Amino acid sequence: MWKWLKKAEDSITRSIPAEEPPTRVFAELEKNILYFKEKLGASFDILYKQTYIGKNKAFLIMDDGMCDNLLVTEQVVAPIMDMREMPEEPEKQMAYIRDRISSGIDQKEDYSLDDAITDVVSGLVVLLIDGATFCEAFGVQGFPKRAIDNAQTEVQERGAQEAFVESFKDNVALIRRRVRSPVVRFELQEVGATSKTRVCVCYFADRADSKMIDEIKSRLKKAKLDMVLGTGYLRPFLESDVTSIFTSVGTTERPDIACAEMAEGRAVILVDGTPFAMIVPYLFAENFQSMDDYNHRPYYALFIRVLKFFSFLISVFLPGLYVAICTFHQELLPASMLYDTAVQESITPFPVMAEAIFIHFLYEIVREAGLRMPKSVGHAVSIVGALVIGDTAVSAGLIAAPMLIVVAMTAISSFVVSKIYYPVSILRFAFMIIGGLAGFYGIVLGFGVVLFNMCAVTAFGTPYVAPFAPMHIGALWRDSFWRLGWKTLGKRELQIHSLEK
Amino acid sequence: MKGSAKISVWQLFCVLLLSRLLSTLTFSPVGAEKINTSDYFPSVLFAAILIFLFSIPLFIQKHFFPGKDITDVAYTVSPLLSKASSISYVLCFLFFTLVSLARLEMFVGTIVFPNNDSALFIILCVAAACYAATLGIEAIGRVGTISLVLFVGAFLFIMITMADKVDPVNLSPVFYEGVKPSLTAALDAATRTGELAFAAVLLPRADGKMGKAYAAGLFAFTVCAELILFFVFAGLGDFALSQMFPVHAVAMLAEFSVFLRFDVLLTGAWILTAFIKISLLLYMQSELLQKSFSRKWNKLYVLCAGLLVLIIQVFFAGTVSDYYFAAGLSARVILYIVFVVAVPSVILVAALMKRRGKRAKNS
């Protein structure tokens, strides 16, 4: 079966070609230009500008859309043209130019034509001189990008409002601006055979476990991917070996959260072209924490966290429990409630389990439609959904009113724990089915299985359910459901690897 | 499966405490020796003393053979003895799995789903336990810790909500018929389940000093058992003696405002605890089979053990557990003494003698 599926998949795909050995820069300029044209084809955005530097023929190659033309003129072309007393030998000439032009940290020498091509498509201007066996690349990027905007998915009441953007360097700057200390490290790697996406591992050198950082870099290096267009592409390579419905790799779009995570010894991974950063290791308890918890007084943080935890329980278990109680354990309801529920459920044509699955499925459709549609249409979808489901279906006797209350409570609760919305919505369906088939017994067993699954996950040596199991009294006391005040919390920093088994 | 994974001794004793508390929850005076309700209180203390005495081989094992389980110790005497002891422990654990599953089936069949066929529930439980067992001892240890907190929380809540139903007048005088009934109940309580045999196999998987965790575990068991029995007998009086599951019967008295059925919390804790215990037992069987045969088939061993348990329980439902309980106290004591005291003691003595002989030879 698996072999057949693999074969079927192979018939429509091909394996990612192995990386060819790099081609060195030729001494003959024509050969280099031919190589460039062969690799880049007839792309209209690649500009080849022939010129003479002294008596040597030279070429400036750049990607028009990726470079800032003004910078190219002011920082590269003009200084080269203005240079006097330049040596005649091509390689010395190149070194002379290199030593006199400074166009940012990206400026570098390339000895391989493949590296030079990557630089051109990354927005650098490459200078080739006839007779030189290396070329010079100048960082003059100027591609279009989105300005730094407010956070969309992690809205905070009192925290900073800035969010990461797609531009990689802006994101690094957002972190650097918050932590002006030499301990912050940004280590660059390239992932993706074709996309050659830049991935940056950020951490605090004095707090992150060096073994963990090495392991992260090694896993990223081993990631066999053709294209990397988002953080989700790399997540499976950073997750625990145990298949779990919850992820041990966190995501944030907020630079302040990224800094706070790094301060606890974690690593933050930025992927070029994505406004989200990954956090490793990420613990289950963090799904109930937010930056606002640290801006409010501790008692309010406790209240909010408990609220979130109960919302999580409601959003996962409430529909399943409702189905189980209505199907098998009616005696668990208080008498008056039992009477009302029984009357309502008796007029609907479907069994409770089918009704629950149907209505939740419908809700997910409405939610998905509202999410993907343009905002103006999204509102219309919500209104139609609310009218059709909320009013007409109940008055037509298709759905019982208590079921609608359950759906509403579940939906609102699941938005409170939006970080784990996706696993929660899947688990909800699973518990509805198991509640309808095996009642309360099935729900307890299902809870046990989920608990086992979560407890089996260990992310880079740190148990996913820490500090609850293994129980670390110090960490529980310091910052779990309860958090200490800043006068105490600020004196010492937590080190995530100290929670290891 | 994480063969080399380790847990702390505290986690190990949490899991073992949970397993023992399950046996307290499933305590059923029906079919047991009839004794006065109050005589059960000293019996818990006597049981704790007995458990401590039965633990002596475990302490010897930990002291003289640190990092070795009982089959490793047997290997130092002879590889054949190691294999024989492994297989006998596998059979013993298989039996305990059947007993736990039978008790769960009995509970679910009488309390949760009195009108349904319990085969589906048994299949679900075994399937879930097989999955849990393949996740390894770390997962079992962590789940044990969380579940113990949930268990204690659920029980405390029930105790608080039914506090007004508790009346010490319901208790009979202690030692009214002498000390013997208490001693009999103590022997029954101590030998009801074989955590010390589990510990003999799991010790090398636990890091840390055993003494404090062991003492805390034994103390917690004594306190919890005394509290549970107090609420059962002070709440129900002699009526408890006619109940199949008196702990559940007393939990049904709990009420708060319009909510009358808090026994559901106890039911949840009960099912979860039984599930963890069955997972632990399947895990241990797989570990021992790996030692005796190949390490490659770890998941297959769990599956085979699970299937065997399932087949026996579904097709011969009740038979195994019935004869275990019907055989009475003497049969249970013999089984317990053999696997918890006799077999480990023989292996330890033989291993120590061999070690001494080797040293004498070398010197």
Residue A401 lies in a domain: yes
Distance, CA of A497 to CA of A499 (rounded, Å): 5
Same domain, A72 and A184: no
Q: Say what the pLDDT of residue B324 is.
A: 59
Q: Which of B120, B124, B146 sits opposite A451 (nearest CB)?
A: B146
In this complex, do A445 and B145 lie within 8 Å of one another by their Cβ atoms?
no
**Residue A227 or residue A83, greater confidence:** A227
B31 has pLDDT over 80: no
Inter-residue contact A165 to A146 (CB < 8 Å): yes
Euclidean distance between CA atoms A410 and A404, whole angstroms: 10
- Helix A168-178 and helix A255-263, axial crossing angle in degrees, nearest 10: 60
Considering only CB atoms, which chain A residues are within 8 Å of B272?
Answer: 444, 447-448
Report residue A230 CA to chain centroid gap.
Answer: 7
Q: Of B108, B131, B142, B258, which to mutate for an interface test with A (greatest number of A Cβ within 10 Å)?
A: B142
**Burial tier of B179 (Cβ tally within 10 Å: 0-12, 13-18, 19+):** middle
Alpha carbons A258 and A277: distance in angstroms, whole number: 8
How sure is the predictor about A491, in pLDDT bands with cuts at 50, 70 and 90?
Answer: confident
The predicted structure's pLDDT at residue B322: 58
- Is A117 a residue whose pLDDT tops 60? yes
In this structure, is residue A501 part of a structural domain? Answer: no
Percent of chain A with pLDDT over 90: 45
DSSP at A206: T
Does residue A490 belong to any structural domain of this protein? no
Least Cα separation, residue B139 to chain A (angstroms): 5
Of B113, B264, B275, the CB nearest to A448: B275
What's the token pair of residue B2? 């994480």
Nearest C-alpha in B relative to A461: B5
In chain B, the residue whose alpha carbon lies closest to the alpha carbon of A451 is: B143
Prediction pTM value: 0.88
My answer on whether A59 and A179 are in the same domain is no
CA distance B203 to chain A (A): 17
CB A57 within 8 A of CB A50: yes
Residues 6+ apart with CB under 8 A from A74: none
In-domain check, residue A387: yes
Q: Choosing among A248, A313, A321, A449, which should be mutated to test the B contact, i.e. which has the most B CBs within 10 A?
A: A449
Q: pLDDT tens-digit profile of A256-276?
A: 999 999 998 899 999 999 999
- The answer to whether A441 contacts B260, with C-beta atoms less than 8 Å apart, is no
Q: Higher pLDDT residue, B327 or B195? A: B195
- Look at residue A318 and tell me whether its pLDDT is greater than 70: yes
* Chain B CB within 8 Å of residue A463 CB: yes
Q: In this structure, are strands B7-8 and B206-207 parallel, antiparallel, or unpaired?
A: parallel
A340 touching chain B per CB within 8 A: no
- Residue whose entry in the numeric block shows the structure tokens 């080797």: B358
Q: Which residue of B has its CA nearest to A465?
A: B142
Quote the CA–CA distance of A143 and A345 in Å, as a whole number.
60
Which of A332, A465, A470 is opposite residue B8, by nearest beta carbon? A470
Q: Residues in chain A, how many?
A: 501
Q: Do A242 and B145 touch (CB under 8 A)?
A: no
Residue A428 domain flag: yes
Give the residue among B112, B129, B215, B149 at the shortest CA–CA distance from A448: B129
Q: With both helix axes pointing from N to C terminus, report the angle between B40-54 and B210-236 in degrees, rounded to the nearest 10.
A: 160
Residues A440 and A325 in one domain: yes
Distance set, CA A111 to CA A25, A61, A295, B134 (Å): 6, 16, 51, 52
A159 in B contact zone (CB under 8 Å):
no
Is A419 part of any domain? yes
Contacts of B132 in chain A (CB under 8 A): 448-449, 452
8-state DSSP, A199: E
B259 strand-pairing partners:
B256
Q: What is the mean pLDDT of residues B13-23?
A: 91
B114 contacts on A by Cβ (under 8 Å): none
Per the structure, the count of domains in chain A is 3
Alpha-carbon torsion, ordered A424, A426, A431, A436, to 10 deg: 140
Contact yes or no for B271 and A444 at CB 8 A: yes
Residue A331 near chain B (CB below 8 Å): yes
Torsion angle, CA of A269/A271/A275/A279, rounded to 10 degrees?
A: -20
Contact across the interface for B143 and A458, Cβ inside 8 Å: no
Look at residue A501 in the predicted model and tell me its pLDDT.
Answer: 47
Q: Which residues contact A141 (CB under 8 A, 6 or more apart)?
A: A66, A67, A68, A106, A122, A123, A124
Given the structure tokens 């005076």, which residue do they identify? B29
> Mean pLDDT highest for which of A288-302, A325-339, B258-272, B273-287?
B273-287
pLDDT at A83 over 90: no
Q: A236 with A329, same domain? A: no
Confidence of residue A482 (pLDDT cuts 50, 70, 90): confident
Residue B113 with chain A: CB contacts under 8 Å: 328, 439, 441
- Tell me: domain B8-356, CATH 3.40.190.10, correct? no
Average pLDDT over residues A464-492: 82
Range of the domain at A337: 295-456
Q: Are the CB atoms for A47 and A125 separated by under 8 Å?
A: no
Domain extents in chain B? 8-356
pLDDT in tens, A161-217: 899 999 888 999 999 999 988 899 999 999 998 888 999 999 999 889 999 999 999
Cα–Cα distance measured from residue A267 to residue A282, given in angstroms and rounded to the nearest whole number? 10
Token pair, residue B101, equals 């599953």
The phi and psi torsions of A268 (rounded to 5 degrees) equal -115, 135
Interatomic CA distance for residues A139 and A141, integer angstroms:
6
Position A106 pLDDT exceeds 80: no
Q: Considering only residues A2 and A80, tell me which one the structure prediction assigns the higher pLDDT.
A: A80
A340, A462, A471: best to mutate for the B interface, most B CBs within 10 A = A471
Q: Is A430 on the interface with B (CB under 8 A)?
A: no
Residue A325, amino acid: I
Residues of B in contact with A313 (CB under 8 A): none
**d(CA A15, nearest CA chain B) in Å:** 31
The DSSP bridge partners found for residue A48 are A61
* Nearest Cα residue in chain A from B256: A334
B328 pLDDT above the threshold of 80: no
d(CA A48, CA B347): 84
Least confident of A120-129, A315-324, A477-486, B204-213: A477-486
User: What is the predicted pLDDT for the residue at B113?
Assistant: 79
Residue B324, CB half-sphere, CA atoms under 13 Å: how many?
A: 22
Structure tokens at B81: 């003895």
Compute CA A156 distance to the chain's CA centroid, rounded to the nearest angstrom.
19
- Domain stop point among A139, A160, A180: A139
A334 touching B (Cβ < 8 Å): yes
For chain A, give the mean pLDDT: 88
Q: Environment class of residue A390 by beta-carbon count within 10 Å: exposed (0-12), middle (13-18) or buried (19+)?
A: middle
- Please name the residue ranges forming H helices in A41-189: 69-71, 78-82, 90-100, 113-121, 168-178
Q: Is the CB of residue A441 less than 8 Å away from at least one CB of chain B? A: yes
Window 200-259 of A, Cβ < 8 Å to B: 242
pLDDT tens-digit readout, B93-102: 998 898 888 8
pLDDT of residue B74: 92
Instruction: Give per-residue pLDDT as tens, A228-241.
Output: 999 999 999 999 87
Last residue of a domain, one of A421, A440, A456: A456
Long-range contacts of A9-16 (CB under 8 A, 24+ apart): A16/A193, A16/A224, A16/A225, A16/A226
pLDDT at residue A135 in the model: 93
The answer to whether residue A221 sits within a structural domain is yes
- The residues on B that touch A, with CB distances below 8 Å, are 6-8, 10-11, 108, 112-113, 120-121, 124-125, 128, 131-132, 135-136, 138-143, 145-147, 258-261, 264, 267-268, 271-272, 275-276, 279
Per-residue three-class SS string for B248-276 = HHHHCCCCECCECCCHHHHHHHHHHHHHH
Asked if pLDDT for residue B359 goes beyond 90, the answer is: no
What is the number of other CB atoms lying within 10 angstroms of the CB of residue A303? 14
Distance from CA of B130 to the nearest CA of A (A): 10
Q: pLDDT per residue over A419-469, tens digit each?
A: 999 999 999 999 999 999 999 999 999 999 999 999 999 988 889 998 888
Who among A437, A441, A451 is closest to B108 (CB)?
Answer: A441
- The nearest CA of chain B is from the CA of A335 a distance in Å of 8
Residue A404: C-alpha distances to residues A356, A368, A385, B138 (Å):
9, 19, 12, 41
The stretch B108-121 carries a mean pLDDT of 80
Please check whether residue A412 lies inside any domain of the structure.
Answer: yes
Q: How far, in Å, CA of A251 to CA of A268, rounded?
A: 9
A501 in reach of chain B (CB within 8 A): yes
Do the beta carbons of residue A47 and residue A73 sit within 8 Å? no
pLDDT-based confidence at residue B116 (cuts at 50, 70, 90): confident
Alpha carbon of A441: minimum distance to chain B alpha carbons (Å): 7
* A497 and A461 Cβ atoms separated by less than 8 Å: yes
Q: What is the pLDDT of residue A395?
A: 82
Binary contact (A441, B131; C-beta < 8 A): no
Instruction: Tell me, yes or no, whether A47 and A117 share the same domain.
Output: yes
A-chain CB neighbours of B279 within 8 Å are: 452
> Between chains, do B271 and A463 touch, taking CB under 8 Å as contact?
no
Average pLDDT score over residue span B148-168: 88
Cβ proximity of B129 and B277 under 8 Å: no
What contacts A300, CB < 8 A, 6 or more positions away?
none
- Copy the structure tokens of residue A449: 């299985």
